[in-house]
Chain A
Amino acid sequence: EALVINDPDFQHEDLNFLSRSQRYEQAIRKSALMVMKLREYGIADPEEIYWFKSFVHRGRPEPLDLHLGMFLPTLLTQATPEQQDRFFMPAWNLEIIGTYAQTEMGHGTHLRGLETTATYDPATQEFILNSPTVTSIKWWPGGLGKTSNHAIVLAQLYTQGQCKGLHAFIVPIRQLGTHEPLPGITVGDIGPKFGYDEMDNGYLKMDNFRIPRENMLMKYAQVEPDGTYVKPLSDKLTYGTMVFIRSLIVGDSARSLSRACTIAIRYSAVRHQSELKPGEPEPQILDYQTQQYKLFPLLATAYAFHFVGAYIKDTYRRISGDINEGDLSELPELHALTAGLKAFTSWTANAGIEECRMACGGHGYSRCSGIPDIYVTFTPSCTYEGENTVMMLQTARFLVKSYTQVSSGQRVTGMVSYLNDLSRQRIQPQHVAARTVTVRINDPVSLVEAYKARAARLVEAAAKNLQAELNHRKSKEDAWNRTSVDLVRASEAHCHYVIVKLFTAKLSEISNAAVRAVMTELSLLYALYGISKNTGDFLQAGILTDAQITQVNQRVKELLAIIRPNAVALVDSFDFHDVHLGSVLGRYDGNVYENMFEWAKKSPLNKTEVHESFHKHLKLMQAKL
């Protein structure tokens, strides 16, 4: 961190005042420098590279993200040794800058619908790549627009007249040396977006573009010189990468929300407004219950997601070990769980960042608050790497499958094991809802049970509704579609349960008593706030009574007052450097107003005292009227 922050080479003007082209240029400059410095310092550990990178780019995307994060790893995992010889070192040395071109204009999460074709021509032993329709143009890949000279392109493979599904191909797109697009390649930037100014997300259109047979990534599937297709051993392996990337998004949800909370809570301690008691000085806005109610549950959420992110990472590491030994048994559950948690955490963090910004009043809207930037950088994660609703439905598919297994007498394990209880319930004639859980609202463990009961009830309800639809209709897909709102709710309840459970489980691992005490308060707040926001589920299922709901609401407000004295310390613990936070409102020293003034003076509109449009337009109008 200090290495980067103190390095004069990485300094530049405040990005808020730069145009998109300038921001791209700055990012490229820093990326180029970064690569040189990483090698100069001999930093090679992926974790250390990640930290170095995130300080250089202050948590923002950069044009080499896809090269480092997708192109190189894909070469490592899917290229044959020969291909590695040809491509890996040049790519490592940045003679080749690559990207990963999967998404098309017409298709995103639904991969099977991709339309780009790669047709094998045995006569020349080449693949002929084509973008047959407008919708098949590759669209969105980062670094594709201006930076990359190669791309790993996903295309439908045709050989011997048959479609063999999606495969990956290494495609050169720009001339080495001049950087001009190659004949048959149309490539460019997709234009301005909501944030991501530093990134040249691009388009790519290919017209009868030929690449040698050896450019298909052939570690698993292969096309032989005569066009014979050799199938890969297992297609489950690709899940691994997806799980890994989605687990990163969970961590990113925690981090982005933590940053927004840091800014909003510090600023709320600095800002004074109105009066609580007549005649007294204006209080800090953090003393208002409504302000605490906006921010502290989000603070608790940021901590909760932090623990969830760590859990997935650990689980992934553990399971990857098993996968390498050929054991894929745990992969389906992890895959299902990370899909849902990716959606749950990114949705929550996305809304939470905006709540933090709104809690900063008008000044939150200024780019000097830094929160608009956090928001626009984070918000696409609700869509990329799997659109959230689709992710929730993937989790639901797993939940329904588990429920069906339990119904047919099998037992399920892992996070869904609570479904086993449902079969015991069935012996009694009553609805699962009527099951009485005696919930003690001050006991985190008891609250986990309440969430478990809610998840069980919603999974069961969705599964039963699905069955009812199936009894009415012929098509499975139709029934699934007509139940999908219920299914998403069930997934959400399941994820919510998992998060409350993981947060609660974490408490016993904390050795320092004072830290454990404050974390216990946060975990209680997280769980109780979640109940108060979803009272309908808990009431309808009979998990909690009216009187208990009233107590929960009351307890939430008490916890706000209890957490209040520790609020600033709790965000300071996230330990974001001012440079990384990039916020005038969230400064560690709290000198907000004078620095806002300093910041504003640098605005491009203030470059001259009298703006040129006065001479061009105003003066003219005044003279005429």
Chain B
Amino acid sequence: GMNPDLASERQTASFSVEKLTAWLDGGAEHTRIRRAVVEAIECDPVFSRENQYFQSQNERYEAAVRKAVHLQKKMHEMGWTEDGPEFKYIYRALSGDIAFLLHRIFMRSISVLGSKQQTAKWIPLATQYQLIGSYAQTELGHGTYLQGLETTAVFDITTQEFILNTPKISAMKWWPGDMGRSATHTVVFAQLYVHGKCYGVHPFIVQIRSLQDHSLCPGITAGDIGPKMNFEHVDNGYLMLQNVRVPRENMLNKFCEVQPDGTYARWGSQKINYFTMTTVRISLISDEAVIPLMKACTIAIRYSVVRRQSKLKPGEQEAKILDYQTQQEKLLPQLAAAYAFHFISNYLQELFDKVYREIQRKMFDTLPELHAFSSGFKAMVTQYCTSAVAICLQACGGHGYSLLSGLPSLYTKIVASCIYEGENTILLLQTARFLIKCFMAASTGQPVPPSVTYLAAVKPGKCPAKNKLDFLSPDVYTEAYQHMAARLISSTAAKLQDLIQSGVKKTDAWNQCTVQLVQAAKAHCHYITVKNFAETVEKLETKAGIQKIMKHLCDLFALHGIFSNGGVFLHDGYVSGAQMDMVTASYLDLLAVIRKDAVPLVDAFDFTDKSLNSALGSYDGQVYQRLYEWAQKSPTNKQMSPAYERYLKPLLHNTLSKL
């Protein structure tokens, strides 16, 4: 049966949950397809995640491989293809709990970086799983800083081969997924040497395991890097290369080539090397940050209306914990953020599609903007969502710490996204570099991309709000964010200039400003997120009920940001102390308003119970019953612990004589 405390929440929704879901999916047809995919995956026992929380690393890995293999069969059965509309929902339906994700990166990097001949040779083999690929970039000693990679590939003109080596321990490839146990091939990034000259980092296809018996190829040392905070199902691996030879044709050569005589030729933009990373960064925002946050919000908010604790009014029943202002203040801003970032992810996807079309036509002008945006938003969104999931976890009291709540594994997984595909601080500094450049250009009247034209018009001013209701105007708060971002960027640029003019070397000046630069880049991304949210809501005008609640969420997201970063808005007097009190008042009022729709707003994310895999967050709200039932399944309850016979019993009975 349905827990009445949860049922009552659904009766008072101010909008149609089904309509909101369809809008989030981009249309009812998409919702239908998504549900069909989820249904097909979840009714198949091979894909079950039921015992996941009780499994060891070895069991998790094996299950992930089994699922990956079974998925091929399933796709065939269902008639799903990689280009079909179903494909993007499969990963969501599996909650990412599957092997061979790097296999896809392997294929993508060959498609993007490989010549026509290379694509023709390798892609069919990979598609047929005649080989399993990985992507070996990161080393023990180097991650985001690619130029520092130490693996070498020396061209041997006599045999027309590259000789790959791991010259020292810090050069060992470390972390690539699927590489520890599964992969037969990998794309190795190595410093290319021809005739003793280094040409920088290039990608090479290298076979690492036998296609017959899976044993390691000569010259290869590879294995699993050991347990991590999460990703037990992935065999992140290490790889050491000793004089491993690959033919000249194994260097991916769409954009550059070593010719038989050793001549190095390059065409097209070098920036294209970054394109794979950009692709991955944009897709991970939704898959690895926003969706997990939506799940965490669903679990925490549903649980918060089931859990009753203490009394708000004497003589009444204990109150739902979501009725406490402090609980609302923890959870509702995270819910608003989940929506805000869902929209930013759509925005980036559109930008990406546009740039991609241009690249196909060999136009690279918009690539820097896309690169800067994908870096900045990857960093900002993953960091924000990670903190948000942690808040959801802690908002569930003790039960949040049980793995059965689903929240610890959401947290330990999302937290990795702050590091992989570019460490966040470094990425924000890349965005900052772009912003400073644009600011300089804008201030000398040169053209800049449309998203940063606001930098041209930095001027002092005051926020026009006169009462707390004025802060519910998107123009008022968007303007405040814009002012704040422009101020932080311009003051950092000025600081940089000052340092350089006073004789400090450019590179030193940059390092001395990095804390400010990071802050400026975040401010820019925050501003764009608010602006994009407001514009998205505005475009929604026809769907009255949904627009109203989305407007509230947008207001909440914006005001929460001002409330919790008061200093940067107060700093130059743009927002006055009295106005800050209005912001706080409006913000706290909004909490109570959104509270009423909190459960419908998470219901609209439309996660099945199986995909949440949480004893606290199920649709029916039977929290305690489920916790109790699931706990019984724990292996620790299935057998008598050997610890009793071995240690407890002697302790209980025999130790006395020894003491």
Contacts and interface: CB of A to CB of B under 8 A. Distances in A.
Contacts of A553: 516
B481 to A, nearest CB: 15
Nearest to B232: A605
Interface string B376-409: 0000000000000010011001111111100010
B573 to A, nearest CB: 7
Interface stretch (B539-547, B603-611, B649-657): B649-657
Contacts of B326: 389, 393, 484-485, 488
B425 A35 contact: no
B226 A146 contact: no
A109 B330 CA distance: 18
A147 interface: yes
A203 B631 contact: yes
A622 B294 CA distance: 37
Interface stretch (B28-36, B212-220, B262-270): B212-220
A113 B317 CA distance: 11
Contacts of B454: none
A21 B170 contact: no
Interface string B39-64: 00000000000000110111001100
A603 interface: yes
Contacts of A625: 72, 128-130
B609 to A, nearest CB: 18
Contacts of A32: 647-648, 650-651, 655
A621 interface: yes
A140 B398 contact: yes
A129 interface: no
A-side interface mostly: helix
Contacts of A361: 143-144, 419, 423
Nearest to A27: B643
B453 interface: no
Contacts of A140: 398
Contact of B238 (A112, A196, A539, A600): A600
Interface in B173-224: 174-175, 180-182, 211, 213-216, 223-224
Nearest to A603: B226
A252 interface: no
B-side interface mostly: helix
B181 A613 contact: yes
Contacts of A606: 180, 223-224, 226
A621 B646 CA distance: 44
Contacts of B56: 19, 604
B512 interface: yes
Contacts of B568: 535
A272 interface: yes
Contacts of B569: 536
Contacts of A597: 140, 169, 172, 238
B163 to A, nearest CB: 22
Contact of B651 (A35, A393, A541): A35
A349 to B, nearest CB: 13
A147 B634 CA distance: 16
Contact of A383 (B62, B170, B401, B648): B401
Interface stretch (A68-76, A90-98, A219-227, A256-264): A90-98
Interface string B148-183: 100000000000000000000110101100001110
A290 B651 CA distance: 52
A481 B570 contact: no
A546 B571 contact: yes
Given A17-B227, A193-B403, A600-B225, A93 B656 contact: yes
A195 B223 CA distance: 26
A108 interface: yes
Interface string B394-432: 100111111110001001100110111001110001000
Contact of A146 (B238, B330, B415, B644): B644
A275 B147 CA distance: 10
Contacts of A546: 571-573
Interface string B499-523: 0000001011001111110100000
A113 B567 contact: no
B329 interface: yes
Contact of A477 (B147, B314, B408, B429): B314
A137 interface: yes
Contacts of A191: 53-54, 402-404, 630-631, 633-634, 636-637
Interface stretch (B89-97, B276-284, B550-558, B620-628): B620-628
A193 B507 contact: no
Contact of A617 (B69, B216, B308, B325): B69
A610 B632 CA distance: 35
Interface string A178-215: 01000000001111111110001001000000000000
Contacts of B628: 105, 134, 137, 203
Contact of B225 (A290, A366, A593, A617): A366
A294 B182 CA distance: 37
A536 B307 CA distance: 34
A107 B309 contact: yes
Contacts of A612: 62
B229 A616 contact: no
A562 interface: no
A484 B215 contact: no
B97 to A, nearest CB: 15
B141 A25 contact: no
Given A277-B507, A365-B416, A603-B227, A593 B215 contact: no
A447 B223 CA distance: 54
A539 B169 contact: no
A609 B215 contact: yes
B580 interface: yes
Nearest to A546: B571
Nearest to A433: B577
A553 B492 CA distance: 12
B325 A484 contact: yes
Q: Which of B238, B308, B628 has the most CB of A within 10 A?
A: B628
Contacts of A240: none
A122 interface: no
Interface in B312-340: 312-314, 318, 323-327, 329-330
A288 B518 CA distance: 13
A611 interface: yes
Contact of A605 (B57, B311, B424): B57
A604 B57 contact: yes
A409 interface: no
B419 A145 contact: no
11 contacts: A277-B505, A365-B228, A475-B313, A535-B567, A540-B566, A557-B515, A604-B227, A605-B57, A605-B61, A605-B226, A622-B130
Given A481-B312, A485-B326, A625-B129, 15 more contacts: A95-B656, A179-B644, A194-B412, A354-B390, A358-B415, A361-B143, A367-B229, A433-B577, A477-B314, A481-B323, A536-B569, A540-B570, A605-B181, A605-B235, A610-B214
Which 10 residue pairs spanning A and B have beta carbons closest together?
A: A536-B566, A535-B567, A194-B408, A605-B224, A603-B226, A191-B634, A189-B636, A536-B567, A274-B145, A110-B310
Interface of B: 53-54, 56-58, 61-62, 65-66, 69, 72, 128-130, 132, 138, 140-145, 147-148, 169-170, 172, 174-175, 180-182, 211, 213-216, 223-229, 235, 238, 307-314, 318, 323-327, 329-330, 390, 393-394, 397-404, 408, 411-412, 415-416, 418-420, 423-425, 429, 505, 507-508, 511-516, 518, 565-573, 577, 580, 588, 624-625, 627-628, 630-637, 641-644, 646-653, 655-656, 658-659
Interface of A: 16-17, 19-21, 24-25, 28-29, 32, 35-36, 39, 93-95, 97, 103, 105-110, 112-113, 134-135, 137, 139-140, 145-147, 149, 176-177, 179, 188-196, 200, 203, 271-278, 282, 288-290, 293-294, 354, 358, 361-362, 364-368, 372, 376, 379-380, 382-384, 387-389, 393, 433, 475, 477-478, 481-485, 488, 534-542, 546, 549, 553, 557, 593-594, 596-597, 599-606, 609-614, 616-622, 625
